[in-house]
Amino acid sequence: MKLTGAQILIECLKEQGVDTIFGFPGGAVLNIYDALFKAKDDIRHILTSHEQGAAHAADGYARATGKVGVCIATSGPGATNLVTGIATAYMDSVPMVAITGQVPTTLLGKDSFQEVDITGITMPITKHNYIVKDVERLADIVREAFIIAKEGRPGPVLIDICKDVTAAVTEYVPKVPKKPEEASLGVTEDEIDAAADAINKAKRPIILSGGGVSIAGANEEVFELANKALIPVTTTLMGIGSFPGTHELFTGMVGMHGTKTTNMAVSESDLFIAIGARFSDRVISDVNRFAPNAKIMHIDIDPAEVGKNVAVDYPLVGNIKKILKRLIAKVEKKEQSDWKNKIDEWKRLYPLKYPKDDVLRPNYIVERLYELTKGDAIITTEVGQHQIWAAQFYKFKSPRQFLSSGGLGTMGYGLGASIGAKLGRPDKKVINIAGDGSFRMNCNELATAVEYKLPIIIAIFNNHVLGMVRQWQNLFYDGRYSSTNIDRGTNFVALAEAYGAIGIDVRKPEEVDEAWKKALASKDTPVVINFEIDKDDKVFPIVPPGAAISDLIEE
């Protein structure tokens, strides 16, 4: 059948099972929006307040559901407004297809109105990108883009489409979507045998479960390996939820804001098993003093990550789930472990703690949320102290429960992500834990949440400062608080109400439960809770920059 490029794009999206798109219209995508209008019974378009919000919403939708998130923007500033969201998805391996409009082919390269080389700009932050100048190639490019976004290590793909291509007419032939090719299992039986032997002989092993475990759906295999061989488990920030936070083998997070138990265990381990993790600087700190007594085993789908930051003794590259299944079959079952007993003692001696007094503490706020939601909510965060408090004090049980910008550290991520998560998982309570600094950056997306009647909760930990930066200035810059005071008199409750959301103010510990219960009871209206906390509450533990992870500051 003969269709326009815009219609072909929509038909290809329908082929791929896309039911939701986040975006903002403009001149270069008018043909696409016209086709979207006609397809509104098949694809829901969510009009965000800003293109960055659309990218973060597509990201949150993808993380919460495991599907490919889709966002759309016009050319020029519309396209560049997606860049931070695309980079966020790239750093955290999130499958996304970003569609941008471009000026007509006859105007390319002429500094035309709203023209920008978005493929050039996004080349370093996408798995692949395209500029479509020929309608004959459009369908194949869209289909290929979804394959690339999903297969192997996932990530964002950008499709830039010239406006005249969306108006041109050609033959469209429907196709059944191809399934992404599974990563080849290049691991030999000898390598599996050597890895299993290392695990069986290890006296002090520890597993690091990273974000790749959740992406691969390999959390059950990590659970089985840990329980069979009685191996303690830690996670990266991105790996939170890939192993139950309530399990006796869980030691807490690792690295800069890891627990003392975990960082001591890593430092004393004789075998460090990293699964789906990339050895970020926030995990290893001083590489020369990271796990100094341990052999390193690294299981990952991306060969570029193995040996990149840390020398590896047992590299196992390929499909994590399949590798773990083969490994588990050869690992010996352990009934008891002196190493586990030692770590249990450390957990007893060095728990995460905070002052228990009549001051409103962020740690307490998160603990009460955990209790009231029974650990079953999806938590998104912005970036800063509140992000770490959420990671430390909410016990995540499942993958795709904790959505946070780990690699890029994007302030302003969480609100858009919570919108995407709620639309993707309407059955779940979705709470965005924010700092006042982060919330200001994209608070305009409250209008989106109100418009679509999304009962998300935004919990602002309002200390009137840029908390994490101030903490560093306090600890490492002799208290020189340069440009971190943001006490501008903003009334967040009034702001919420101006948007049409519910606003709640909390200043005392005894008000916390009532606020959470009221917010959790909302059926179709977003709720903003302004928690007034002290500007000098700090995140502990913290590893000073350049120190070994065992040299942490506890309080």
Question: Active-site positions?
Answer: 51, 113-114, 163, 468
Q: How far apart are CA 71 and CA 20, in angstroms?
A: 9
Please answer whether residues 343 and 251 qualify as being in contact, where contact means their C-beta atoms are separated by less than 8 angstroms. Answer: yes
Q: How far apart are CA 168 and CA 105, in angstroms?
A: 12
3-state secondary structure 483-516: CCECCCCCCHHHHHHHHCCEEEEECCHHHHHHHH
Q: How far apart are CA 531 and CA 385, in angstroms?
A: 14
Q: Return all residues near 303 (Cβ < 8 A) that are at least 6 apart.
A: 317
Cα distances from 538 to residues 117, 328, 438, 534, in angstroms, run 43, 41, 17, 9
Cα distances from 150 to residues 461, 469, 501, in angstroms, run 35, 36, 36
The helix/strand count (H/E) of the chain reads as 23, 20
∠395-541-431 over CA atoms, to 5°? Answer: 35
Token pair 């032939």 is at which residue? 173
Which of 128, 131, 142, 129 has the alpha carbon at shortest distance from 172?
A: 142
Please answer whether residues 435 and 460 qualify as being in contact, where contact means their C-beta atoms are separated by less than 8 angstroms. Answer: yes
